[in-house]
Amino acid sequence: MTALLPHEQSLTACAQAIAAGEVTAETVTRAALDRIEAQNPLLNAYLHVDSAVALQQARAVDLARVAGKELGPLAGVPVSVKDLIAVQGMPLTAGSRILQGYTPPRDATVVERLRTAGAVLLGKTNLDEFAMGSSNESSAFGPARNPWNTQRVPGGSSGGAAAAVAAGLGVAALGTDTGGSIRQPAALCGIVGLKPSYGRVSRLGVVAYASSLDQVGPMTRTVRDAARLLQVIGGPDPGDATCDLRALPDLEANLDQGVAGLRVGVPHEFLDGAEGLDPAVRSRVDAALQALQGRGATLVPVALPHTRHTLATYYLIATAEASANLARYDGVRFGRRTEARPGDGIDDLYARTRGEGFGTEVKRRILLGTFALSAGYRDAWYEKACRVRRLIHDDFERAWQTCDVLAGPTSPVVAWKLGEFVQDPLAMYLMDVFTLGVNLAGLPALSVPVGLHPDGLPVGLQLIGRPFDEATLLRAGATVEADAGTLEPPETPDASDRRPA
Ligand code: GLN
């Protein structure tokens, strides 16, 4: 692919160059659209692109600048939106056939805020169906591909968003994270992904997967970009009762202050005690931890003893909530409805619409969740999981007595081959072992690239913060980035396994 221009390499540089009149928003938007046209047929990162509307938005920014109007913080920056989030005038699929034909009547709050900040909305990115998955392969529209190696998965569920940002098909993206769906694809595609604290960002207009876990967040090329994007989308929203009332602090104010004196907890369960951790991933993570120490941070060993229960706990709670949330797709209210057959009753209509509309993974989760909530089993499964969730939360609370942030790998492995785990959902669920606890405890967490695996694929470091302390998290992330550097976007994506000589 043609090298990214300087103003395309970060949201911050892009906004600055446009505001200074060094480049027009239209030029930047055209460059992104050209790259989408050239690469999306292979990457399948976008499910919907609206070039005409994007160019119109870009020209409006250029006109406003020439007229001397004050520009928003994202004026002219081309961004994408995960197709789980409502954008007025664009179809919303959630990666599912069941929403076929559905176009939401209004913007999600986060999208409204992007528009107010002047961002140019390029389109909607690919995802696992209803955000259920870790590889993008459960999308009804085929998987997105990893731009570092197109035979590999981009991660999931926000795989399209991660692939798009890594390949320069847009400068930044909005993703969602229920159990790792921002951080893990960010790690697998070599970009930055920030899952904010539960309640930090409005979910009005965001399709619900598991309501006690879901959060919207930035996927960007740099840590500063993530801070700026969260600054725009985060903060109280009267339209979402689960959105916290605390105002966001200035997230960029202390970004460059370094980590001297910061206590970085290293959970035993994420490194020495972790099963299935690729040694080459481990060595990148160790190097990043050493670098933090070199900058004056103190590494503190900590224990998160209930980590071994996170997978079971998450998959009970997430599927239980999903089974309730997805009950609304009944063929009557949204999207697709099956052809009525003579003699069909309303129950047949529901059953056949859902049978045809949902894919295998979604059905599996609805069945699991319905079982976990059903009379006679609810106590043993769902309610027990809720009690274990509290223990997982308390592990983190104890860690905060001795540390300011926690650090470890985002994913135990780098991007795997397309199809590798499709027949083995449990093996795929196990890939989420380091990210799930964060959602169960409602914490903010960040994935930052820390270099390449010998296979030529990116490795991500996960940093976890105290509730609502995104500022410290981002400051630590900026320090990691200063040492590890950002990853250059891959050249022309090809389908070969690239091993550096
Ligand atoms: N992979 C996890 C799941 O399938 C997390 C997905 C997400 O965060 N949306 O549930």
List, for residues 197-244, the tens digit of each pLDDT value. 999 999 999 999 999 999 999 999 999 999 999 999 999 999 999 999
Helix intervals (H) in 107-233: 109-116, 159-167, 183-189, 223-233
Task: Ligand 1 pocket test: pick from 132, 182, 313 the residue with the most ligand atoms within 8 Å of its Cβ.
Answer: 132
Q: How many domains does the structure of the chain reveal?
A: 1
Question: Is 82 a known active-site residue?
Answer: yes
132-147 burial, b for 16+ CB within 10 Å, e for fewer?
bbbbbbbbbbebbbbb
Contact 486, 433 (CB under 8 A): no
φ, ψ dihedrals at 449, nearest 5°: -65, 140
Domain range for 288 is 1-501
Ligand 1 centroid – CA 323 distance (Å): 14
Q: Does the beta carbon of 136 lie inside 6 Å of ligand 1?
A: no
Question: Is 181 a known active-site residue?
Answer: yes
Structure tokens at 471: 């500022």
Task: Ligand 1 pocket test: pick from 126, 176, 178, 422 the residue with the most ligand atoms within 8 Å of its Cβ.
Answer: 178
Res 489 pLDDT > 80? no
Contact 26, 58 (CB under 8 A): yes
Structure tokens at 137: 């392969």
Q: Give bridge partners of residue 483 from the DSSP assignment.
A: none
Ligand 1 nearest atom to the CA of residue 213, by list position:
8
Per the prediction, the chain carries an average pLDDT of: 95
Task: Ligand 1 pocket test: pick from 125, 128, 413 the residue with the most ligand atoms within 8 Å of its Cβ.
Answer: 128
Mark residue 85 as left, alpha or beta (left: phi above 0; alpha: psi -120 to 50; beta: remaining).
Answer: beta
Predicted pLDDT at 3: 67
Q: 193 falls in which pLDDT band (50, 70, 90)?
A: very high
Ligand 1 centroid – CA 64 distance (Å): 40
Ligand 1 centroid – CA 495 distance (Å): 26
Q: Does the beta carbon of 179 lie inside 6 Å of ligand 1?
A: yes
Please give the Cα distance from 57 to 339 (Å, whole number). 39
Res 2 pLDDT > 70? no
Cβ count within 10 A of residue 331: 20
Structure tokens at 42: 């292979």
- What are the Cα distances from residue 421, in Å, to 183, 202, 275, 350? 19, 33, 18, 31
Q: 493 falls in which pLDDT band (50, 70, 90)?
A: low
Q: Does the beta carbon of 133 lie inside 6 Å of ligand 1?
A: yes
Query: What is the 3-state secondary structure of 348-375?
Result: HHHHHHHHHHCCHHHHHHHHHHHHHHCC
Q: Are strands 172-177 and 192-195 parallel, antiparallel or unpaired?
A: unpaired
Q: Does the beta carbon of 138 lie inside 6 Å of ligand 1?
A: no
Cβ count within 10 A of residue 90: 22
Task: Ligand 1 pocket test: pick from 82, 84, 129, 134 the residue with the most ligand atoms within 8 Å of its Cβ.
Answer: 134
Ligand 1 centroid – CA 131 distance (Å): 6
pLDDT digits (tens, 9 = 90+) for 335-378: 888 888 888 899 999 999 999 999 999 999 999 999 999 999 99
Please, how many CA atoms are within 13 Å of residue 482, restricted to the half-sphere of its CB? 16
pLDDT digits (tens, 9 = 90+) for 12-28: 999 999 999 999 999 99
Q: Are strands 263-267 and 298-302 parallel, antiparallel or unpaired?
A: parallel
Q: Does the beta carbon of 432 lie inside 6 Å of ligand 1?
A: yes
Structure tokens at 328: 């609304």
Ligand 1 nearest atom to the CA of residue 181, by list position:
8
Predicted pLDDT at 455: 94
> What does the angle CA 472 – CA 477 – CA 479 come to, to the nearest 5 degrees?
100
> Which residue lies with its CA nearest to atom 5 of ligand 1?
179
Query: Of the listed 96, 134, 139, 181, which one is catalytic?
Result: 181
Of residues 447, 477, 496, the one with CA closest to residue 189: 447
CATH of the domain at 445: 3.90.1300.10
**Element housing 48 (H / E):** strand 46-49
pLDDT digits (tens, 9 = 90+) for 254-307: 999 999 999 999 999 999 999 899 999 999 999 999 999 999 999 999 999 999
Of residues 479, 484, 447, the one with CA closest to residue 196: 447
Q: For the chain, give me the number of helices (H) and strands (E)?
A: 15, 11
Predicted pLDDT at 8: 80
**pTM (2 d.p.):** 0.96
- What are the Cα distances from residue 111, in Å, to 201, 235, 289, 389, 464? 11, 13, 36, 31, 26
Query: Of the listed 80, 135, 139, 157, which one is catalytic?
Result: 157
Q: Does the beta carbon of 83 lie inside 6 Å of ligand 1?
A: no
Q: Does the beta carbon of 181 lie inside 6 Å of ligand 1?
A: yes
